[in-house]
Chain A
């Protein structure tokens, strides 16, 4: 796979959407230039669309189907292949229309092909520019900068908790230090690659075990993960910072504690991660929470573009974060 990333991934929803927008904008511009007034514009746009949309959509369908083949080519070969496929597709549709067309003002084939070629080249150029702007070096630097950072508050409180255990419960202190070591190994690791969901869950459990040490019966966790796909790939440290927020903002301010609900399931080839925690107003630590959410949002979009989303809301004393991301299985 020589061109991984350089050619647009036509199977990605965000890319498809962008192609459609660019192509239709170009078509609208053509109609606008030719038209005399608004009514004329709409008329021309309809006429152009009747011909161009089938060409556009069938080209995309063809490219969607042949995407695995295209990715095996080098960048230049890939570009040529894409343009050739578009030309081929456009010509076939044109021929079909030439036989069925009821109007007599069908433009010449050469013109149509030239326009299709031009729009395709323009789109590919846009993706090339976009790729360079988001080149691995840039993206990786951003990912690294965005890596979730654990709260120092948590680190020092945990060490303090472990210290208190050493004299009375040395066994428990051992386990706690082991959990801490694992947790920090992940936090300090290179976290740019996707990891299996099961791994992130294990991390959350270790984190919560440490928090349980401090908060004891104040911290209750409800896991609703029967339909969790453990092999699904997610960006690392997506869930743990959210759980940390839930403890910090949701549980710690409550004298008698509360319950954090973690719900994970798949639906229509998408993974849903839902996290709920009690929420007591007024919350003056909002800022830290917003930062963590922004950070996760940006990492999701760097990995999945428009296919992932993160929403948060608060309702009736419950704060909820809902993440949706595409179900990608581990590559073997």
Chain B
């Protein structure tokens, strides 16, 4: 059997040390890196391509469930074994969907067994875990073989164009393959649908202005945005939303 490359992700140093000790006891394993949160785990996994990620669920910045969803989009997704001290909801979901997990304090034999049968998560397993994560904090964007993470809080607007959605931040634009309706459902409280093809973040709306539309010569409301020069047209149907704000 070839050496297993393992990435440990846990925000607590003692928990990482314990896994270190246990993996040393088991042998035939190599710890490629340690991460203190989901975001770091994702970056390390992207660089180092581990075979297995031991992923704690409750971590700051990005929790284990969200990290698992992003990890899945890597070109060579690692096998994931969740670790948790206590989380009834998560454990129920894991049991129902045959997802590997280890309960802390972790036992040597359990860890050994989990490593032997570890394999990558299936899409339907991942889908079942989505409700466990309160709301994604990042969007993953695949770009030239790399995985980029865009914090949801940085997104100014999302605009649907043909089969892609443009993600606009203060710095630049990204393209993702997602449906706008799906994004709207997921980030319900953060964005407002000002146009059939555009979701705008509440936090970045400066105000509204009535402008002459060049094409038809009609007056139309547009939303002025922070950090970017472009504006978003408010469709006639959504104009009642302006009055509410």
Contacts and interface: CB of A to CB of B under 8 A. Distances in A.
A158 to B, nearest CB: 9
A253 B15 contact: no
B42 to A, nearest CB: 14
Interface of B: 11-15, 17-18, 21, 36-37, 58, 60-61, 85-87, 103-106, 134-135
A156 B84 CA distance: 9
Interface stretch (A1-9, A39-47, A160-168): A160-168
B15 A160 contact: yes
Contacts, number: 62
Contact of A161 (B12, B21, B36, B86): B12
Contacts of B103: 156
Contacts of A327: none
Contacts of B135: 282, 284
A52 B224 CA distance: 68
Contacts of A153: 58, 85-87
A282 B12 CA distance: 22
A311 B36 CA distance: 35
B36 to A, nearest CB: 7
Contacts of B85: 152-153, 156-157, 160
10 contacts: A153-B85, A156-B85, A156-B103, A157-B15, A157-B86, A160-B14, A160-B85, A161-B18, A164-B18, A252-B11
Nearest to B37: A255
Contacts of B18: 160-161, 163-164
Contacts of A284: 134-135
Interface in A274-310: 282, 284
Main SS of chain A's interface residues?
Answer: helix
A216 B11 CA distance: 11
Contacts of A122: none
A157 B134 contact: no
Contacts of A151: 86
Interface in A179-233: 213-216
B105 A160 contact: yes
Contacts of A156: 85-86, 103-105
Contact of B105 (A152, A163, A215): A163
Contacts of B17: 164, 168
A165 B12 CA distance: 13
A254 interface: yes
Interface string A233-263: 0000000000000000000111100000000
B12 A253 contact: no
Given A160-B85, A160-B104, A213 B21 contact: no
